[in-house]
Amino acid sequence: MNPSLKFLLAVLIALEISFTNTWMVNVGLALIGLIIILSSRPNLKRLALLFFVPLIPAFALAFAILLQSNAGIHFALVLFTRIYAYVFVGSAATLTTSVSDLVMSLEQNAHIPSKFAYGFLGAFNLLPKIVSEVNIIRAAGNMRGQALHIWSPQLYFKAILASLDWSENLAEAMTSHGFSEGAPRTYFKQIRIRWWDWLIMLGSLGLLQVALFGLHLQ
Amino acid sequence: MKYSNAWHLRDIILLTLIAIFFGVIYWIVGPVYNILTVALTPVGLGPAANDILMGIWVMAGPLAGYLFKKIGSATLGEFLGAVVEMFLGGQWGASTMISGVVQGVASELGFAFTGYKRYDWFSLNLSVLTTTIVTFGWDMIRNGYAQYHIGLLIALFIIRLVSTWIFAGVLAKAIVNLLDRTHLMQSRTR
């Protein structure tokens, strides 16, 4: 499916189930998400994390409703299943799309200015470097006997300084490779929206309405 | 004072890098949220962990608005942070993107109310206030906060306000003060 439409669909589904209270629909969405996730053949560790990590907020919200409100078990169940629907629908989109495909689709199909598309892409590709930089900053602090915590301004200050440095370098590198803001571009990899992309999106949304209304009327 | 509103390639890269950095710092510094939630869940106060740590999540928005002084920078910074978090495998899945937009617009409002003319302690605090109110409204719907007893609801709101003020207000200001002393940002955002 077209990446832009896939993410739009995931967001629309998440938005709609935030306002509705039908736990069976949440379970159904989570199951569909799970099937899509399994079809992308994730590794076992990732799959296990997907099941266990949402348990914490899901239980927290459900318990809070049971103990701190009069809303009852049905609403607790709705909140519990809602978290799983969010996570599985979201992962169904992220695990089957690469960041670069999404960015290219956003540029070609959603017509985001190319400076934003390639700017984001360049920065996203620095992710591993960013992770190691944060570790370096903390290690450097430790060596001087200065523990940097999440509330230490120095930690963020040094991170922003690194960002300033890298953004300058990356922007210059892109410019020297011939990238110019606002210039018309041709695409090596063309991403199109086909009729079945629209069909899947509108069909899924239609089915969701039918399911929500059907179960609501029962 | 007049600020330029044009986005250039290096501003976009810088904003994205800062958003990713904030996401990663949160990621590395620890599973505080999970520990806190597990500890509070048996008494039914699990959601309080969300409010206690709210400031850390929403920090990128007011800080980006304050640093870049452009229309949309708070929204964009916060949204990008959320997208990164989702790709890293966040706990909230697809709703992370919605939260990102909600939090971003929420912190943007504070600067919008001053007509994007004031970038000082006042507008930062205004942004903290709008962030708290709007994100709390969203949690009343998404996480069922609206169902809680009124006492708990008020307590959660105050906890969230304090947390947002400490991180997105006081800490953001401290970071900007450090940056101001380097004079690196002024030469870039004229």
Query: Is B74 a residue whose pLDDT tops 60?
Result: yes
User: Among A69, A155, A165, which would you mutate to test the B interface (most chain B Cβ atoms within 10 Å of its Cβ)?
Assistant: A69
| Distance of residue A97 Cα from the nearest chain B Cα, in angstroms | 10
Question: What pLDDT, in 10s, does the model give residues A32-79?
Answer: 999 999 998 888 988 888 888 888 888 888 988 888 888 888 999 999
Question: What percentage of chain B carries pLDDT values higher than 70?
Answer: 92
User: Among B21, B66, B85, B162, which would you mutate to test the A interface (most chain A Cβ atoms within 10 Å of its Cβ)?
Assistant: B21
B11 neighbourhood in chain A, CB within 8 Å:
167
User: Among B7, B86, B95, which would you mutate to test the A interface (most chain A Cβ atoms within 10 Å of its Cβ)?
Assistant: B95
Q: Which residue has the tokens 């450090």?
A: B178
Tokens of B86: 């989702």
* Mean pLDDT over each residue of chain A, to the nearest integer: 90
What radius of gyration, in Å, describes the C-alpha atoms of chain B? 16
Three-state secondary-structure class, residue B182? helix
Report d(CA B137, CA B110) in Å as an integer.
16
Nearest to A159 among B25, B94, B141 (CB): B25
B86 neighbourhood in chain A, CB within 8 Å:
90, 94
Q: Is B94 within 8 Å of A86 when comparing Cβ atoms?
A: yes
Query: Is B32 a residue whose pLDDT tops 90?
Result: no
Query: Is B190 a residue whose pLDDT tops 50?
Result: no
Report d(CA B128, CA B123) in Å as an integer.
9
A127 neighbourhood in chain B, CB within 8 Å:
20, 24, 84
Three-state secondary-structure class, residue B93? coil
Nearest CA in chain B to A93: B94
Q: What is the pLDDT of residue B45?
A: 85
Q: Is A60 within 8 Å of B41 when comparing Cβ atoms?
A: yes
A109 vs B88: which has the higher pLDDT: A109
Nearest to A90 among B22, B86, B148 (CB): B86
Question: What pLDDT, in 10s, does the model give residues B105-145?
Answer: 999 999 999 988 888 899 999 999 999 999 999 999 888 88
Q: Is A150 within 8 Å of B87 when comparing Cβ atoms?
A: no
Question: What percentage of chain B carries pLDDT values higher than 90?
Answer: 37
In order, the DSSP letters of B144-170 are -GGGB-HHHHHHHHHHHHHHHIIIIII
Report d(CA A41, CA A35) in Å as an integer.
10
Nearest to B17 among A11, A167, A174 (CB): A167
A151 neighbourhood in chain B, CB within 8 Å:
166-167, 171
Cβ pairs A/B, distance under 8 A: 217
Q: Where are the domains of chain A?
A: 3-104+193-217, 114-176
Q: Is B50 within 8 Å of A57 when comparing Cβ atoms?
A: yes
Q: What is the DSSP letter of B70?
A: S
Provide long-range contacts, Cβ within 8 A and 24+ apart, for A75-81. Answer: A75/A21, A75/B144, A75/B147, A77/A23, A78/A21, A78/A22, A78/A23, A78/A26, A78/B144, A79/B143, A79/B144, A80/A23, A81/A23, A81/A26, A81/A27, A81/A30
Q: How many CB atoms lie within 10 A of CB A165?
A: 13
B167 neighbourhood in chain A, CB within 8 Å:
151
Nearest CA in chain B to A165: B14
